[in-house]
Structure 1
Amino acid sequence: MVNLIWAFMAMIGIVYAMFNGTMEEVNKALFESADDAVTLSIGLISILVFWLGIMKVAENAGILRVLTKMFRPIVVKLFPDIPRDHPAMGYILSNFTANIFGLGNAATPMGIKAMQQMKELSGTDTASRSMITFLALNTSSLTIIPTTVIAIRMQYNSISPTEIVGTTIIATLISSLSAIVIDRLFYYSSLRRK
């Protein structure tokens, strides 16, 4: 559906440019944007590779295991429907750890695996309580080191690309806590309606 919306907006823009006589500016902007996208992507690849390497070093050093043990009691309370030793727990914890380090691209495959495991656990196509909670938390994603945003700021020659770390921690902490509160409010209100 989103693809159709974007295609429709692009067609409207092109038709408007044809009638308005600004087709040359549209073509120029199109090629400049494509060039900027390639340059930005190449710059982001280097930063993401660096942080993925750091994650691999942290995994080999046992730091991720320590973080997993640290977050396990919280995750078990957030997802009471999932057994402690179920594979979904490992994927959820890995997803949260990757998001904490601002590696949304690395977190996505683990998030998909977690959802698949939770779907198998529930046995239905309807979203379970755990799936809804996970989606809310994954969307709000607590981030301590926003590596992708720092990389983009570095790519565009920001004077201080890391100055957003403090505000990112505060904003994502508030969004994560809000996601948990709203998730629980909706869950308990649905139980009262039943």
Structure 2
Amino acid sequence: MTRSIRGYLISIEGIDGAGKSTQVKMLKEWLEKEGHNVAHLKEPTQGQYGKEIYRLAAEHMLPGPEEELRLFMLDRKEDVEKNILPALRSGDVVIMDRYYQSNMAYQGAKGLNPEKIREENEKFSPVPDLIIVLDIDPKNSISRIVNNRKSALDHFESENYLIKVREIFLKIGEKPNAAVIDASGKPDEVHGKIVDTIKNKLPELSP
């Protein structure tokens, strides 16, 4: 696909509790005001593999990192074929609430090679035009999860684990098509930083 016939892919990443869902919603509204058609997608999906991931995580029954990654990739292959590529071919701006960068970080923190995860995913997954890493201290993220969700932490939400996950996300944020944004402030402040980043790195989305 050439740039003239495809849309743009933006991945919003970060540890649990960083405020991704809130920022995705705000970004979608801003892009639509700029005149873009926007597809908002979330991974894991609500497909058969995504539902299995959610169930196993909630019950703290997820298998080893290799099997975790296999389930995520099966879920993503369906998402790419059914949702991501069709939207991009239509010229939409696709916003991902988590993408394969999350596998690099979460399964990478369990001992798998993040670059190998990236390579395997990019065999079938479009590379994001922009990766936004929302950065927050794991202590603050855990507090947000408990206070906002009022439910037990799942398989992916222990503080020590999130410290390792955050380190990998910060490395991902150093890539040319990425940016790290401090997510500890108020939602409007964080949104403003995201908009500024898009204007800088993808100026064609805000002429």
- Same fold by TM (over 0.5)? no
Greater relative CO, 1 or 2 (CA 8 Å, sep 6+): 2
Considering fraction of residues, name the structure with more strand: 2
How does the TM-score come out when normalised to structure 1?
0.29
Considering fraction of residues, name the structure with more helix: 1
How does the TM-score come out when normalised to structure 2?
0.28
